[in-house]
């Protein structure tokens, strides 16, 4: 049995995305009822260049756990970038991504499937349509990212000033020295953060799960201030785990506080082995690090080589996911002419930029 086959009892089925219920007088369509089954991707985020994760304060975001004070990256620090990756993937295959991220407003005459897509199913979405807001809950639930090391050993500071063109801090207009001086707190290279991405209730079909793995990619540019300076985080897959019920051992807060005394300077393979040894015994299915990485790398290779079977998987998913949203929100399929035009767009080869 392949690892994907082993996960199927804990994921949804793209052919049964909807159910029908009744008010007693008439029937209505809604998303398929939730079933027992939880799949968890445990990631290790390796900081490979100075990275800034903060909120309204200048300091790096931290949180106190049972054991120590740790760097904390809230879910959106990673989810925003990976959701954007998903939109780019759908645009590459011409099967979605019609709207910019977080900017959804559609005409009342438009079919829901023109705005909602596979990315909506994975990461959640909301669309303004007339005086209504249509929300979609995410299938992929992101946890906080927590550092395995104490905050004091993985946060640095740099001193910045905004000097005048002549190289001084003197402001010729005000005849005063500039006050544009500040300290920036950043997470230092070598810091490791554990983050968990969970799907619960069998709401995510295999096609959407593969899309999520591709969205994670291998590395990326994260953090509002530092995302403009290039790739700064490498993502390692510790493992992929599945069980009928969610387990506390897949919470990053439980993981970091139950790993014992790890060295301050951690090697990636040591951290992965320690996390897997803690999480795996609780799970009914455990896909270890090497095999989880192979699942992702195979998908990336197929994407790079423009594998036709991957393209067709996205095209097939577009039709079925679109049908889910059309039936759910308006109770009807779009006109056949719309479906034909959409299908023609999906199968067309992407055009190179001019």
Give the per-residue pLDDT at 340.
41
Give the per-residue pLDDT at 346.
44
Whether the CB-CB separation of 48 and 193 falls below 8 Å is answered with no
Residue 186, H or E segment = strand 181-187
Residue 209 lies in a domain: yes
Residue 210, H or E segment = helix 206-216
pLDDT band at 352; cut points 50, 70, 90: very low
Residue 156 lies in a domain: no
Whether the CB-CB separation of 65 and 251 falls below 8 Å is answered with no
Residue 171 lies in a domain: no
Quote the number of domains for the chain.
1
Helix (H), strand (E), coil (C) string for 100-129: CCCCCEECCCCCHHHCCCHHHHHHCEEEEE
Residue 173 lies in a domain: no
Residue 167 lies in a domain: no
Give the per-residue pLDDT at 337.
38
State the pTM of this model: 0.87
- Supply 263's token pair: 């060295």
Q: What is the C-alpha separation between 186 and 189, in angstroms, rounded?
A: 9
Give the per-residue pLDDT at 267.
92
Q: How far does the chain reach from its first CA to its final CA, in angstroms?
A: 46
Residue 176 lies in a domain: no
Residue 229 lies in a domain: yes
Q: What is the C-alpha separation between 49 and 226, in angstroms, rounded?
A: 9
Q: Which domain holds residue 139?
A: 3-151+191-347
pLDDT greater than 90 at residue 255: yes
Residue 73 lies in a domain: yes
How far CA 243 is from CA of 37, 203, 205, in Å, comes to 6, 14, 16
Give the per-residue pLDDT at 159.
63
Give the per-residue pLDDT at 43.
98
Please, what is the average pLDDT of the chain?
A: 87
pLDDT greater than 60 at residue 328: yes
Q: What is the C-alpha separation between 79 and 85, in angstroms, rounded?
A: 10
Whether the CB-CB separation of 140 and 123 falls below 8 Å is answered with yes
How far CA 281 is from CA of 185, 274, 276, in Å, comes to 38, 12, 9
Characterize 36-57 residue by residue with b for buried, 16 or more Cβ atoms within 10 angstroms of its Cβ, and e for exposed.
ebbbbbbbbbbbebbbbbbeee
Q: What is the C-alpha separation between 347 and 354, in angstroms, rounded?
A: 21
Write the pLDDT tens digit of every residue in 164-207: 666 677 777 777 776 665 577 889 999 999 999 999 999 999 99
pLDDT greater than 80 at residue 247: yes
Share of the chain above pLDDT 90, in %: 63
């Amino acid at each position: 049995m392949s690892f994907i086959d082993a996960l199927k009892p804990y994921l949804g089925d793209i052919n049964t995305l909807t159910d029908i219920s009744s008010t007693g007088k008439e029937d209505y369509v809604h998303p398929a009822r939730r079933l027992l089954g939880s799949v968890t991707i445990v990631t290790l985020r390796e900081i490979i260049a100075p990275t800034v994760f903060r909120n309204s304060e200048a300091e790096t975001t931290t949180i106190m756990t049972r054991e120590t004070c740790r760097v904390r990256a809230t879910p959106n620090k990673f989810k925003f970038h990976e959701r954007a990756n998903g939109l780019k993937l759908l645009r590459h295959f011409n099967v979605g991504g019609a709207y910019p991220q977080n900017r959804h407003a559609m005409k009342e005459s438009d079919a829901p499937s023109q705005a909602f897509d596979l990315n909506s199913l994975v990461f959640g979405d909301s669309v303004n349509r007339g005086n209504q807001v249509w929300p979609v809950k995410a299938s992929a639930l992101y946890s906080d990212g927590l550092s395995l090391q104490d905050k004091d050993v993985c946060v640095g500071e740099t001193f910045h000033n905004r000097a005048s063109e002549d190289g001084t801090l003197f402001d010729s207009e005000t005849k005063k020295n500039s006050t544009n001086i500040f300290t920036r707190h950043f997470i230092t290279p070598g810091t490791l953060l554990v983050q968990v991405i969970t799907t619960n209730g069998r709401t995510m079909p295999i096609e959407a799960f593969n899309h999520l793995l591709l969205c994670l990619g291998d590395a990326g540019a994260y953090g509002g201030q530092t995302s403009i300076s290039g790739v700064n985080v490498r993502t390692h897959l510790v493992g992929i785990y599945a069980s009928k019920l969610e387990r506390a051992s897949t919470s990053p807060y439980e993981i970091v506080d139950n790993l014992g005394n790890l060295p301050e300077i951690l090697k990636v393979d040591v951290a992965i082995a320690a996390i897997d040894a803690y999480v795996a015994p609780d799970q009914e299915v455990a896909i270890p690090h090497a095999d989880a990485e192979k699942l992702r790398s195979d998908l990336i290779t197929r994407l790079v080589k423009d594998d036709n079977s991957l393209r067709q998987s996205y095209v097939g998913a577009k039709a079925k996911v679109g049908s889910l949203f059309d039936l759910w929100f308006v109770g009807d399929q779009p006109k056949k002419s719309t479906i034909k035009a959409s299908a023609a767009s999906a199968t067309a080869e992407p055009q190179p930029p001019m």
